[in-house]
Amino acid sequence: MKNKEIAISVNDLHVYYRDMNRFSLKKGFKNKGSGKIFKAVKGVTFEVPKGEILGICGKNGSGKSTLLRAISGIFSPDKGSINLHGNSISLLSIGVGFQKQLTGYENIYLSGMLLGYNKEQIDEKINDIIEFSELGDAINRPVRSYSSGMYSKLAFSITAILETDIMLIDEVLSVGDIHFKEKSYNKMKELISDSNRTVVIVSHSTNTLVDLCDRVIWLHDGLIKKEGKPEKIMAEYEEFMRENA
């Protein structure tokens, strides 16, 4: 893999949460919370070559989601750096977040624009998105009237059809009913099998990771515990989880 182009470089990444947050004026300015620092990610270094599908596993609170959000630019690193080498990126979790009072149709445009598409590009794809989401006429209703299933279907469809160079996937493989679940799983497979696309998947599911990934990183307490072939790592991870349950 040495000769391959690198898509994501993460170098000695630290992300902290400080507990100074959300002080109220009542409590006073001098008391800025306990000042405790919670270190979610403490020094993670890895590179993802272009086209690779990287899985990240780890128990709850091990820093997986934080890591993903840091890569997507929502969190700033407290130390270390992330380089995306100019690739466009989207976090395929439960959508890019909708304006609930607006219609599904309008939200497709807004989400698309946030992902860096212009109006014409979205015009081209909007029918595909609506069709894939199976929402039909509901697309012209405000999103707040959607059921949670409809919501996630639309969210998935937007990020799946409006492709980016790097896709970060946070446990979305279970969206909607069984029928849509299979459909989205297959779409996902299709998307990530594109050799130009770099994918990072966060999941608890051994099947998903073994099935889809080229390599798995096991995150434990904000540090990389192990990395390597999915089958090997996932077997060790499962054993570890059982022992420490």
**What does the binding site for other proteins look like in residue numbers (CB under 8 A)?**
17-18, 21-26, 69, 72-76, 90-91, 93-103, 106, 109-111, 113-116, 118-119, 142
Closest approach of other proteins to the CB of residue 167, in Å = 13
**Contact partners, residue 180, CB within 8 Å, separation at least 6:** 134, 149, 153
Closest approach of other proteins to the CB of residue 236, in Å = 31
Nearest Cα to Cα of residue 139 among 100, 161, 98, 108: 108
Closest approach of other proteins to the CB of residue 116, in Å = 8
Q: How far is CA 20 from CA 33, 37, 73, in A?
A: 4, 9, 22
Report d(CA 54, CA 46) in Å as an integer.
11
Of residues 10 and 233, the one with the C-beta less far from other proteins: 10
Of residues 93 and 206, the one with the C-beta less far from other proteins: 93
Report d(CA 57, CA 223) in Å as an integer.
12
Counting every residue written for the chain, the total comes to 245
Q: How far is CA 195 from CA 52, 53, 60, 179, in A?
A: 8, 9, 31, 27
Of residues 7 and 92, the one with the C-beta less far from other proteins: 92
Of residues 76 and 244, the one with the C-beta less far from other proteins: 76
Of residues 83 and 207, the one with the C-beta less far from other proteins: 83
Closest approach of other proteins to the CB of residue 169, in Å = 13
The strand ranges marked E within 50-171 are: 53-57, 79-83, 89-92, 166-170
Closest approach of other proteins to the CB of residue 158, in Å = 11
Rg (CA), the chain: 19
Of residues 96 and 233, the one with the C-beta less far from other proteins: 96
Closest approach of other proteins to the CB of residue 129, in Å = 16
Output the six-digit token pair for 178: 């069984």
